[in-house]
Structure 1
Amino acid sequence: MKYWKRKFFAALLFVVLIFATMLPAVAATAAENKLSNQFPPSHHISKGLAIFADKVKEYSQGRIAIRIFDSAQLFKDTEIVEALQDGLVDIGLVATNKWGGMIPAADVFDVPFLFVGLDSPKKFLEEGAGEILDKEFVKFGVKNLFWVDYGFIQMWNSKRPLRTPADFAGLKMRSYSAGDSETLKALGAAPTLMSSSEMYMALQRGTVDGATTGMPAGVSRKVYEVQKYLTIANYSTAEFSVQSNLDWWTGLDADSQEIILRAGKDAEAWIREAIVDSEAEAEKAVRDAGLEVVVLTPEERAEFVKATQSVKEQFVKHAGEIGGQLIALGDKLFR
């Protein structure tokens, strides 16, 4: 009997040891979190998100893993806000203007000609805009992890050079947000709100005559293949942020939260540094592709500012007190 007892306890110990060795692997799997990204891997924002994932892994010593799904494999840019709120994905890259329906003040980055340089969003957010918007996101079940600068939005089309507001008459233009649509209307175009993942096909088929998007995104999505003209107007910034489901976030321990925010700051800084080079490389690629590139003169830009002043006024009226605070902050910093 003693022999069989020894055999039994030896077998039991073996099973316990097997389960013990499996626990780290189980824990690692449980800590893998999905991040939805609508940009292709070649875009500088996607590269910045990869840095975020790498830093999370490094700082957590492998305890937390972020798995990125590029090119809208999980959710389109028009779907990501609802997906985050419903907990269908843990983390996602969100265009701030996609909150415009619930948080009208979030459309502030679409206000034309509010900012003057690529460093403007950083100043704007750090001087108080970031805190104001963060509080609004939390009210709708989402936690802002870090900001993602995009660079300036430009105007592409297949019909003619766009040097004055009058040149937009009759053009069907893809827009990326409600605020962008208002700007296009003010300039005389007919906007169609469309996901970035659907833009190329619409331009190729002639469903729309042109589109508003940044130069790096235009190059990543090969917009230059189906367009003839690019107008560099630098009229809005289309800020993004990486956000998470609030319940997922509050379920993390304090150490994990600190690691994710720290990694986010690293990625945020890297993306901002990458923008300048990315913009220059994209413009070169567009010119090499044979597009006619129009760079607005100060006088021409002034005409665009004048034509879109009503959009700024509409924003303040629609976004209420918070919108007014944000515009006042922008005017204080950049006017």
Structure 2
Amino acid sequence: MQHRHSHSRQTCKLLGGALVAASAFLGMHNASAADLTLRLAWYMPPNTAVADQGQEIADKIESMSQGDIKVQTFPSGSLLKESNIGQGVANNTANMVISGMHWWSNQAPALQWDTIPFLVDDASELLDKLHGPLGQDINQQLNRFGTQVIGWSFYGYALSYINNQHPVKRPSDLKGLKMRSEGKLSSIFLKSQGATPVSMDSSEVYTAIQRGTLDGGVSGLSSIVSRKWYEVGQYVTAIHYAPLVYPVQVNRQWWMGLKPSQRKMIQKAVASTESDAVAEIEQEFKKDIALMKKNGNQVYRPSDAELQTWQKATQAQARKNYLKDAGGQGQKILHDIDTSSE
């Protein structure tokens, strides 16, 4: 009897040892399978260039690291909304975000530079500049808030117009319209043309136009389509302005705590998505126009000659208003943009 108890205790010991060894092995295996888990957030809705690039970044990081880095994605504002995403990356709620620079513009006015119309011809030209002094100066500004730029994304071409009153073919046609504005410079421009600018979250615009509390709004075509404003607004003016820049930002303290090999891998993965993002916003601009025309909207796209009227009405005044707030930092950023990248 005593012998059987002794044998049983010995068996338990052996089993216990085997379980501990198995657990240790599984723990080692799991650690090697995902040495790092990264939280990536964005607030743009599905089927937009930012959302598509966010998912591509996640896929590329996991595949290029061969599973050593796992990415948890939080799309469409599921973790951080537009109103708190800057704070969310600064306090490391998300390790990485894709968001507009304008979140910081109240504290760093120089970062609203991309709302100045006609700064560059297209996103491809802008991406080249972002990989030079322009990108370095933006990063320096964002470092003040505890974030680091590791790559570039684009919301698309901003400052198009939709309303349900009449076609807007020239700036003076905005007179009398009550319009949701897109940032401070947009608000100043609308007011200068006799429109009434209204500050409103983009998610609230559909209902406001539907109820008649707004005549329309200013935004990129991607938002006009993805948020379905075209269902409640009839007249669209599609303008190929400079694209809004959405830096891929990380929490700086978290980033500097990674292994150099991990940082290199993540940056390489992000960089590999940038050219796709540029191509997508160009295609998206054309697809959005086609979709709205098919829906029955009246879509007006100014010719190159007609764009001169818009440029004359918007750019010089926007630059002046920008520099009034942004000072020397803004002057430096405009110099970066105006200087040839060749």
TM-score, normalisation: structure 2: 0.89
- Alignment of 1:192 onto 2:198: yes
Partner of 2:137, secondary structure, is helix
Moved more, 265-274 or 184-193: 184-193
TM-score, normalisation: structure 1: 0.91
Q: 2:171 aligns with which of 140, 165, 173?
A: 165
- Alignment of 1:314 onto 2:318: no
The CA distance in 2 between the partners of 1:220 and 1:305, in whole Å, is 27
The CA distance in 2 between the partners of 1:75 and 1:113, in whole Å, is 31
The CA distance in 2 between the partners of 1:32 and 1:197, in whole Å, is 31
Retained in 2: the 8 A contact 1:35–1:68?
yes
Retained in 2: the 8 A contact 1:172–1:192?
yes
Q: 1:330 aligns with which of 312, 318, 337?
A: 337
Displacement of 1:89 in angstroms is 1.9
Task: Specify the alignment match of 1:65 in structure 2.
Answer: 70
Partner of 2:284, secondary structure, is helix
Q: 2:36 aligns with which of 31, 38, 41?
A: 31
Displacement of 1:227 in angstroms is 1.0
Task: Specify the alignment match of 1:224 in structure 2.
Answer: 230
Task: Specify the alignment match of 2:279 in structure 1.
Answer: 273
Moved more, 213-222 or 54-63: 213-222
Residue segments in structure 2 that go unaligned for 5+ positions in a row: none
Residue segments in structure 1 that go unaligned for 5+ positions in a row: none
Amino acid at match of 1:158: N
Retained in 2: the 8 A contact 1:98–1:177?
no
Task: Specify the alignment match of 2:182 in structure 1.
Answer: 176
- Alignment of 1:253 onto 2:259: yes
Displacement of 1:271 in angstroms is 0.8
Partner of 1:56, secondary structure, is helix
1:158-181 CA-to-partner distances (Å, cap 9, x unmatched) read 111112222111222222322332
The CA distance in 2 between the partners of 1:284 and 1:223, in whole Å, is 15
Moved more, 63-72 or 184-193: 184-193
Amino acid at match of 2:101: T
Retained in 1: the 8 A contact 2:157–2:281?
no
CA shift in 2, pair 1:209/1:124, >3 Å: farther
1:59-98 CA-to-partner distances (Å, cap 9, x unmatched) read 2211212222222122221211111112222222211122
Retained in 1: the 8 A contact 2:180–2:218?
yes
The CA distance in 1 between the partners of 2:287 and 2:190, in whole Å, is 27
Q: 2:95 aligns with which of 69, 83, 90?
A: 90
> How many residues are aligned here?
334
Amino acid at match of 2:329: I
The CA distance in 1 between the partners of 2:110 and 2:242, in whole Å, is 15
- Alignment of 1:108 onto 2:113: yes
Moved more, 53-62 or 148-157: 148-157
Moved more, 120-129 or 76-85: 120-129
The CA distance in 1 between the partners of 2:34 and 2:67, in whole Å, is 11
Percent of residue pairs bearing the same amino acid type: 28
Amino acid at match of 1:16: V
For the pair shown, the structure with the greater C-alpha radius of gyration is 2
Displacement of 1:6 in angstroms is 4.1
Retained in 2: the 8 A contact 1:121–1:149?
no
The CA distance in 2 between the partners of 1:28 and 1:78, in whole Å, is 35
Retained in 1: the 8 A contact 2:122–2:242?
no
Displacement of 1:201 in angstroms is 2.8
Moved more, 291-300 or 107-116: 291-300
Task: Specify the alignment match of 2:20 in structure 1.
Answer: 16
Retained in 1: the 8 A contact 2:163–2:217?
yes
Retained in 2: the 8 A contact 1:316–1:327?
no
The CA distance in 2 between the partners of 1:49 and 1:202, in whole Å, is 30
The CA distance in 2 between the partners of 1:21 and 1:127, in whole Å, is 47
Retained in 2: the 8 A contact 1:230–1:292?
yes
CA shift in 2, pair 1:79/1:19, >3 Å: same
Task: Specify the alignment match of 2:136 in structure 1.
Answer: 131
CA shift in 2, pair 1:122/1:25, >3 Å: same
Task: Specify the alignment match of 2:302 in structure 1.
Answer: 296
Retained in 2: the 8 A contact 1:111–1:311?
yes
Task: Specify the alignment match of 1:142 in structure 2.
Answer: 147
Amino acid at match of 2:330: G
Amino acid at match of 2:18: F
CA shift in 2, pair 1:234/1:219, >3 Å: same
